Chains A and B, each alone.
Chain A
Amino acid sequence: MNGPISSRPIFSANAGLIGGILLVGALALSAVLLPVDRRLPMEICLVLAMAQGWNLLCGYTGLLSFGHQAFIGVGAYTLFLVVNTLGISPFLGLAFSAVVSAAVAVVIALLLKGSRDAYFSIGIWVLADCLRLLVGQWDFVGSSQGMVLNAPDIDPATFGDAVFWAALALVLVTQFAIFGLLRTRFGLGLMAIRDNETAAASVGIAPGRSRVIAFVASAVICAVAGAIYYLSVLYVDPAGAFDIDWQIRILFIVIVGGAGTLEGPLIGTAIYFLLREFLQDHGGLFLIVQGAIAALTMLFAPQGLWGLIQARTGWQLFPTKWVTQ
Chain B
Amino acid sequence: MSFLPTILNGLMVGGLYGLFGLGLAFAFGIMRIVNIAHGEFIVLGAYIGASLLSVTHMPLPVVIALVAVVTFGLGWALQTVMLNRMIGPNPVPAMVATMGLSIIIRNALVEYYGADIRAIDIGPLQDEGVSIFGTSIGVLPIIIFCTAVLLFVLMHLLLTRTTLGRAFRAAADDFEILETLGFNRKRVYAIAMGLAVTLSAIAGLLLAIRSSYSPYSGVERLLISFEVVIIGGIGSLRGSFLAGLFLGVVQLIGLRINPNSGPLFGHLAFFLILLAQQANLPGLFIRRRT
Contact = CB atoms under 8 A, between A and B. Distances in A.
Given A62-B92, A244-B219, A255-B96, A114 B285 contact: yes
B101 A291 contact: yes
Nearest to A302: B93
B263 A129 contact: yes
A255 B111 CA distance: 25
Contacts of B261: 133, 137
Contacts of B282: 114
B91 A291 contact: no
B223 A287 contact: no
Interface in A169-192: none
Contacts of A251: 96, 99
A122 B222 CA distance: 9
A26 interface: no
Interface in A89-125: 111, 113-119, 121-123, 125
B95 A121 contact: yes
A299 B262 contact: no
Interface stretch (B138-146, B199-207, B236-244, B269-277): B269-277
A294 B92 contact: no
Nearest to A287: B107
A58 B91 CA distance: 12
A119 B82 contact: no
Given A111-B275, A114-B285, A295 B97 contact: yes
B97 A294 contact: yes
Given A64-B92, A129-B267, A295-B104, A118 B34 contact: yes
A133 B262 contact: yes
Nearest to B223: A126
A290 B103 contact: yes
Interface residues of B, number: 49
Interface string B243-264: 0000000000000001011111
A116 B107 contact: no
Given A116-B288, A125-B223, A294 B263 contact: no
Contacts of A274: none
B223 A283 contact: no
A284 B111 CA distance: 6
B281 to A, nearest CB: 10
B223 A294 contact: no
A134 interface: yes
Contacts of B262: 133
Nearest to B34: A118
A292 B82 contact: no
A210 B231 CA distance: 29
A248 B103 contact: yes
A88 interface: no
A118 B108 contact: no
Interface of A: 58, 62, 64, 66, 111, 113-119, 121-123, 125-127, 129-130, 133-134, 136-137, 144, 244, 248, 251, 255, 283-285, 287-288, 290-299, 302
17 contacts: A115-B278, A116-B286, A117-B91, A118-B286, A126-B270, A129-B267, A130-B271, A133-B261, A244-B219, A284-B110, A287-B107, A291-B101, A294-B97, A294-B103, A297-B96, A298-B100, A299-B86
